[in-house]
Structure 1
Amino acid sequence: MEKRGGEAVEGVTVSNKQVILREYVSGFPREDDMEVVLRKEIKLEVPRGSSAVLVKNLYLSCDPYMRLLMSPTLPNSIFSSYAPCSPITGYGVAKVVDSGNPEFKVGDLVWGTTGWEEYSLVTDPQGLFKIEHTDVPLSYYTGILGTPGMTAYFGFYEVCSPKKGECVFVSAASGAVGQLVGQFAKLEGCYVVGSAGSKEKVDLLRSKFGFDDAFNYKEERNLDAALKRYFPQGIDIYFENVGGKMLDAVLLNMRTRGRIAVCGMVSQYNLDPPEGVTNLMNIVYGRVRIEGFAVFDYFDQYSKFLDFVVPHIREGKIVYIEDIAEGLENGPSALVGLFSGRNVGKQVVVVARE
């Protein structure tokens, strides 16, 4: 295989390592639901006349929503299921190897939807964003400067409309989104408490991310009592990441005209049927507003988000923790680990370093 500078040269044919979904998943995903294969060759050029972009993947994002795509049916979903025996997809950071699209040139660094494989032919480059700020780690574009960062920013500022002095609760608070929501809340002068699933994560929330307080939900026999302990006057804003019993307890503790931004419900993704929520009348009693949102509704405002968050990163006012898995072959383990809370911070898979 011809190479130049250690990299495959445009136009040659190479083998392409991939992570495929073996079959649809029921219950908690396992590593053997996926398989790392080296069975398909790819020519390092886009088809003649195509507007596609061929990329070399560098970093891949592990996200809880990917479990939903492993199911055969997604009623009322904004996503489409994975196809068995095909590579799974997600958000990633990549380098352009060849392009039939005038918006992208060879050597450009991009982030967006890509395959879990070494090289991906992106037939719809509208899902790609050029990376302009390279004075921060490229892996950040799977997290704080990618969809998790946008989710935290628009979910908190646009959906929750925070005010100084309000009381904010964040579940799954040490994860890719939660760690940022808490820091945004502190920037706005709010009182913020987070929940997580280990002492290590709780300590991070207090010491690294600046939360006013935090608790390990696994050690709490009564979540309602725990929330009353940390929010004796009630909760103004709840950033929902887990659903189930936590949501039920939160509904007992929302203040009048409180707001709940529903980002995800990771505790429910592996349950069939999901847990019921019994305290829904508290929405009426408290005139509570609950709003779900999808990050891609805000993609057209990406530059606004960057203008806010990049200076804060450079000035050290916002910090971000990643959990790095080296090698595509370790991707299935990293992804499955999300659902047992094994990761600390944003889970990233390194395919190749730029």
Structure 2
Amino acid sequence: MSWLDDDGDDDDLGYDETDFRARPNPKANRPRTKRRPAHADAVIARVLGVDRGRYTVLVDEDGPDEHQILASRARELRKQPIVNGDRARVVGDTSGDDGTLARIVGILDRTSLLRRSADDTDHVERIIVANADQMLIVVAAADPEPRPRLVDRYLIAALDAGMRPILVVTKTDLADPSPFLAHFEGLEDLEVITSGRDAMPVDLIGDLLVGHSTVFVGHSGVGKSTLVNALVPHALRATGHVNEVTGRGRHTSSSAVSLRYVGPSGKGWVIDTPGVRSFGLGHVDPANILRAYTDLADIAEECPRGCTHLPDAPDCALVEAVADGRLGERGAARVDSLQRLLTTFSAPPTF
């Protein structure tokens, strides 16, 4: 069939392009908007764990209807990291029944962030845990040998995040921890607890957990998972052994998980994290380390601009205060502790 007239064109047929209309595409023609639903019916839940894009969250924490549910991430949060310890706004089916899936539509403001980078030159942060107020560092007196520099890095991360550090030394029946602990004598706010294989001070540690969210960190093989299982018997965290050839522990925890601690004096949260052999500090602001030494920070205000506060820093008020004996033996130990943490960075920091 031809649409042409006898002259070979369509002039006499009375058609023009307005007679042929394309089928409308309602999605393409719909005006774009950045408005999002208010989700006034959202409930607040604690993120307990993350597994392949699904989030285990706790609804009605400490309430009469406390229960766990499974949730996914809303599309508008695709660039928002959601981590263990987050307080999330959740909508949808929050019954927790089999086969149900709620949706996380928002994250409340965080009070703290524990972060690490791949190495000291990488400024891209990896958020590990949110809203924890304590860090419990587990280290073995032997098997594997303690690594003071790794503990220094944990302390720096804790101080940067505003967390209270707690140091637990395990396997003290195998070696005397005193030489190792001498590295940390100047840090007055550090709580230190020692433990043997057959005498773990569970009650003492448990009392420190009550009313707090405590993130557990430690080198693989130091007994961290064993301690977690002693504090939270239903946790069933896998435990491993130390390789006799390399002297290194085997990773037994693959992801961070929040566990409820219930003790004689109350409740708390244990956030167990995978064991690591390195802890990059590329994201840390060195000034936060000095702020943790409040008594030294006042003296450091007399330092020249750009002072590194290291032993070879010219005209450093801290170095001079140690040299003339104004700080005393204890103060000198704290300056040494501060300087050791500062030199942990790959390059001397400035303030």
Answer whether TM exceeds 0.5 for this pair. no
Structure 1 or 2, whichever has the larger Rg, is: 2
Higher helix share: 1
Higher RCO, 1 vs 2 (CA within 8 Å, ≥6 residues apart): 1
**What is the TM-score with the length of structure 2 in the denominator?**
0.32
